[in-house]
Amino acid sequence: MAEEKVKKEKGPKLADPNKVSICPATQEMIERSHALGIETVFDRAATMKPCAIGMQGTCCKICAMGPCRLPLPKKGIEGKDDRKGLCGATANTIAARNFARMVAAGTAAHSDHGRSVAEVFLSVARKETEDYKIKDPVRLRQIAPHFGVDTTIEKDGEVKDRNLDEIALEVAEKAWAEWGKPEGTLLYLDRAPEPLQEKWKKMGVMPRNIDREVVEIMHRTTMGVDQDYKNIIKQSTRCSLADGWGGAMMATDLQDVMFGSPSPLQSEANMGIMKEDHVNIIVHGHEPVLSEMIVAASQSPELLEYASSKGAKGIQLGGICCTANEILQRHGVPPAGTFLQQELAIITGACDAMVVDVQCVFQNLANVAKCFHTKLITTHPIAKMEQNNVIHIEFDEHHAMEDAIKIVRMAIDNFENRSADVVIPPYKETQIAGFGVESIEYHLGGTFRGSYYTLNDNIINGRIRGVAGVVGCNNARTKHNEEHITIIKELIKNDVLVLTTGCSAIACGTHGLLTPETAAVYCGPGLAEVCETVGIPPVLHLGSCVDNTRILLAATEVVKAGGLGNDLCDLPAAGSAPEWMSEKAIAIGQYFVSSGVYTVFGYHMPLDGAPELKSYLYEEMEKIYGGKWDCEPDPVKHAHKMIAHIDKKRKELGIDKARERVLMDMADRQALEA
Ligand code: NFS
């Protein structure tokens, strides 16, 4: 007791750098933060424990009679579960409402991002802006038919390509309408395999328009409306599909059209990409409409000259979170870190400006920036900060380049104001990033069939055991990057090809998993052989979190190429978000599950207080959509749950024998070599 008191008087607990991250750069910067007396998320996580009832998902605060708290009794539920809130809401109803609201928030975030992109695209199509162009006309022609827009025209009995401007305008208007059209269902749903569409139709979960599904969740989960957890989850499915096969998918496509579709390129990752003698600008957030302009501005000869006039050797851009992935996959700009490294990038003392837009931005950045010379610049009308050291430069697509130049200039001017010692942790790794549906086809597809045929062939013959999507955040309640990296290493060791996005992808880059050389070091013999033959990494970086839609479409291509069933749920594939924290991750998980994918989350799921709801999500959903939720905090077990599912699917497809043969061949070969 006495000891405890002494501890409390000493002030808040500090995080142990070696216990909270596996990344040496992160560990060193946490140490520095302690030396300088600057608090970060890691220390706050050590000081503040999460609410145990919230963790169970059974705290209801949707009306002022509550919050009503319904934790699971310590000895479990014996016999009848009669826990209820003041209105009578059961634990299942409460946890389902909380879950649905996370899906709504996540869908809103991705889809509002998509809406901004669609709005900019509409300005481009209407020729109202000069700063953005159509960089990838092939992509535009490819997506146009999904909006019901013709790409050819018949004239005098001849079929000709239609004028690109006309296509752009029609696509832009059709896309724009998807957020609020009065009738019908979302146009992109027809990109899913037919049997999946049939399931959605039968269940009545085809999203009507994006905004409506989000609003309907808010309505259904308010006091006294939907009180059947299965019905609430049904709407969560419809809303999440409006994200994955709607808002997020359009965000990816229209970004590709305007900024170019990614193709594999080489870059680096981690805080060591910052340079002491350069102006360092860190862009952080999600929407590439701004960061695209900052990339262009920072490469302009005038601004480079201006930087040199201030004594800098150049301008180093770096990214945090999904903005990092966006400018990495299209321009090779290196990420400086994941979600949990945002404060630390400033603690280097070398960050001349941090430019943020929306999502995953810590309010504490302002407090950290105050300790250094760093200019913290907010740019989005919906995301400001209250602290008075934050500068707001509102970004507008109609004068995009002008805004970007202003921001870059401000960073250059700030270069000479560096106040603290600069300590950039000397860690960075090389990476290959920027894979997409087409580049996977190019590298792993058949040369003459032009489809996913060769990939399928390698799955069928068992060299590739299956495919896993490992995605999502960092969470200060788990050890930074450890789960991502452990799970992914375990998967590739067992011949599972990994597709990654979001902060998971940045973690992979940071820990050196995104190079072709990784194959020889970490992969099982089958996957190593494929990767070495075609020269790709066993872990493919597919972009940001909205680009999870690339994974859906790649999986659909695999189904189309044949031999592996006729729906996404037939594939030897699984999804994972090992260190999730955002509501967006729940929306993504729900659309993957509702698209037929077995999806395992790490850390915990806020469902333990509602066992029936939990078993509905973990077991019953599979009977409806072919996919289901699961949760496993232990990373090795987590990977093996995914592998077991992959093996189960191989067996159902009747290709489990092929793999046994391959393994025998390998063993024989190794025996021969020995
Ligand atoms: Ni995804 Fe991207 Fe990272 Fe999580 Fe945040 S950046 S949208 S939410 S933390 S992966």
Q: Which atom of ligand 1 is nearest to the CA of 471?
A: 10
Whether 210 and 291 share a structural domain? no
Beta pairing, strands 335-337 & 390-392 = unpaired
Residue 38 lies in a domain: no
Whether 595 and 620 share a structural domain? yes
Does 574 contact ligand 1 (Cβ within 6 A)? no
Whether 483 and 393 share a structural domain? no
Q: Which atom of ligand 1 is nearest to the CA of 472?
A: 10
Whether 495 and 637 share a structural domain? yes
Whether 188 and 216 share a structural domain? yes
Q: How far apart are the first and last CA of the chain?
A: 62
Summarised one tens digit per residue, pLDDT across range 405-432 is 999 999 999 999 998 899 999 999 999 9
What whole-number distance in Å separates Cα of residue 381 and Cα of residue 362?
17
For residue 7, the model assigns a pLDDT of 46
284 CA to centre of ligand 1 in angstroms:
11
Residue 281 lies in a domain: yes
Spans in the chain with pLDDT lower than 70:
1-11, 446-450, 661-674
For residue 442, the model assigns a pLDDT of 86
Whether 130 and 237 share a structural domain? yes
- Any bridge partners for residue 577, and if so which? 601
433 CA to centre of ligand 1 in angstroms:
17
For residue 662, the model assigns a pLDDT of 65
287 CA to centre of ligand 1 in angstroms:
12
Q: Which atom of ligand 1 is nearest to the CA of 339?
A: 9
DSSP string, 414-464: HGGG--SPP------EEEEE---HHHHHHHHS-TTT-SSHHHHHHHHTTSS
Two tokens, residue 400: 């995009």
**Cα atoms found within 13 Å of the Cα of residue 658, Cβ hemisphere only:** 19
Give the containing element (helix H, strand E) for 469: strand 466-470
For residue 1, the model assigns a pLDDT of 39
What whole-number distance in Å separates Cα of residue 246 and Cα of residue 660?
40
Q: Atom 4, ligand 1: which residue's CA is nearest?
A: 473
Q: Which atom of ligand 1 is nearest to the CA of 585?
A: 8
Where does a domain end: 213, 237, 259?
Answer: 259
Does 582 contact ligand 1 (Cβ within 6 A)? yes
Does 360 contact ligand 1 (Cβ within 6 A)? yes
76 CA to centre of ligand 1 in angstroms:
35
Range of 203's domain?
91-259
Whether 248 and 292 share a structural domain? no
Residue 233 lies in a domain: yes
Q: Atom 6, ligand 1: which residue's CA is nearest?
A: 321
Domain count, the chain: 3
Whether 410 and 508 share a structural domain? no
User: The CATH number of the domain where 458 resides is what?
Assistant: 3.40.50.2030
Sign of CA dihedral 13, 14, 15, 16: negative
User: The CATH number of the domain where 204 resides is what?
Assistant: 1.20.1270.30
Residue 9 lies in a domain: no
Residue 662 lies in a domain: no
DSSP at 480: B
Does 339 contact ligand 1 (Cβ within 6 A)? yes
Whether 403 and 485 share a structural domain? no
Does 452 contact ligand 1 (Cβ within 6 A)? no
Q: Atom 7, ligand 1: which residue's CA is nearest?
A: 545
Does 169 contact ligand 1 (Cβ within 6 A)? no
Q: Which atom of ligand 1 is nearest to the CA of 474?
A: 9
Q: Look at the chain and count its residues.
A: 674
Residue 376 lies in a domain: yes
Q: Atom 2, ligand 1: which residue's CA is nearest?
A: 322
362 CA to centre of ligand 1 in angstroms:
12
360 CA to centre of ligand 1 in angstroms:
6
Does 584 contact ligand 1 (Cβ within 6 A)? yes
Where does a domain end: 227, 259, 291?
Answer: 259
Whether 468 and 553 share a structural domain? yes
Residue 624 lies in a domain: yes
Residue 79 lies in a domain: no
Where does a domain end: 236, 259, 282?
Answer: 259
What is the best residue among 41, 501, 545 to mutate for testing ligand 1's pocket, by most ligand atoms within 8 Å of CB?
545
Whether 646 and 528 share a structural domain? yes
**Cα atoms found within 13 Å of the Cα of residue 421, Cβ hemisphere only:** 7
What whole-number distance in Å separates Cα of residue 619 and Cα of residue 79?
22
Whether 319 and 184 share a structural domain? no
Give the three-class secondary structure for 61: coil
580 CA to centre of ligand 1 in angstroms:
8
Phi then psi for residue 288, to 5 deg, are -75, -5
For residue 5, the model assigns a pLDDT of 46
Does 358 contact ligand 1 (Cβ within 6 A)? no
Does 473 contact ligand 1 (Cβ within 6 A)? yes
What is the best residue among 252, 320, 322 to mutate for testing ligand 1's pocket, by most ligand atoms within 8 Å of CB?
322
Strand arrangement, sheet containing 375-378 = 335-337, 315-320, 279-284, 353-356, 375-378, 390-392
Q: Report how far apart, in Å, the C-alpha atoms of 350 and of each of 32, 120, 356, 414, 535 are.
A: 13, 33, 17, 10, 36
Kindly report the three-state secondary structure assignment for every residue of 537-554.
Answer: CCEEECCCCCCHHHHHHH
Does 503 contact ligand 1 (Cβ within 6 A)? yes
Q: Is the pTM of this model over 0.85?
A: yes
Q: Which atom of ligand 1 is nearest to the CA of 581?
A: 4
Q: Which atom of ligand 1 is nearest to the CA of 320?
A: 6
